Amino acid sequence: MDILFEEKQKAIETLNNLKIELYNKGWFPATSGNLSLKIRENPLIFAITSSGKDKGKITHEDILFVDKEAKPILQTKLKPSAETKIHLQVYQRTDAGCVVHVHTVNNNFVSEVFFEKGFVPIKNLEMIKALDIWEENAYIEVPIVENYFDLDKLAQKSGEAINPEVPAVLIRNHGIYVWGKNEFEAKRHIEAFEFMFEYMKNLILFKGSTNIW
């Protein structure tokens, strides 16, 4: 399967710029996390960061291109992210054009605190509008799935948990997957969720209760 040189270079530049922005926020500790960008819809092709690479460095050798089976379409020595199939689930089940996966203290905190509930409830926060939800007294639920060691099972459960109206899925004590129609929207969404999670963490610790709404 061929992709145009221009498509390849644009995807590499886009992902490199985005990963540096998010790295500078401290959201890719110890080479964790990954990013992807959809190149074509049908047949599905997307670019994704390679596994185990330092997200703080810009290089054209850390991004590869995969198909609807999550397999590389170009000859490469790079190893796809172990969680490529989760990105695949997002692309298959939503209109996403870009997927961001980060590990932070805040998203790990809320995923553990609310795990038994099965979702993180968020209510009446201004930042919900960044998700293009403009309802008065807006309320959303961010789904949480168990951090299964079996990555095929993790991908399947993550896919089943997706709510197209709420562009995120939390993995318990692992991290969050967030998406948008393009890299700008995905960045806006991840920044919004991380802001809300930090607010909630601080409020929970201040009140000594998860009953914050």
Sequence-distant (≥ 6) Cβ neighbours of residue 199 within 8 angstroms: 125
- Strand 175-180, strand 139-145: pairing: unpaired
Confidence check: pLDDT of 19 > 70: yes
Q: How many domains does the chain have?
A: 1
- Strand 45-49, strand 34-40: pairing: antiparallel
The per-residue pLDDT for range 65-75, each reduced to its tens digit, is 999 988 888 77
Provide the domain limits for residue 145: 5-207
The per-residue pLDDT for range 45-66, each reduced to its tens digit, is 999 998 888 888 887 678 999 9
The per-residue pLDDT for range 173-188, each reduced to its tens digit, is 999 999 999 999 999 9
- 3-class secondary structure, 163: strand
Contact by Cβ (8 Å): 170, 147: no
* pLDDT number for residue 134: 93
∠ CA 48-190-141, rounded to 5°: 115
Query: What is the pLDDT averaged over residues 101-107?
Result: 97
Confidence check: pLDDT of 80 > 80: no
Query: Domain for residue 36, yes or no?
Result: yes
Query: Domain for residue 212, yes or no?
Result: no
Query: Domain for residue 199, yes or no?
Result: yes
pTM: predicted TM-score of the whole model, two decimal places: 0.94
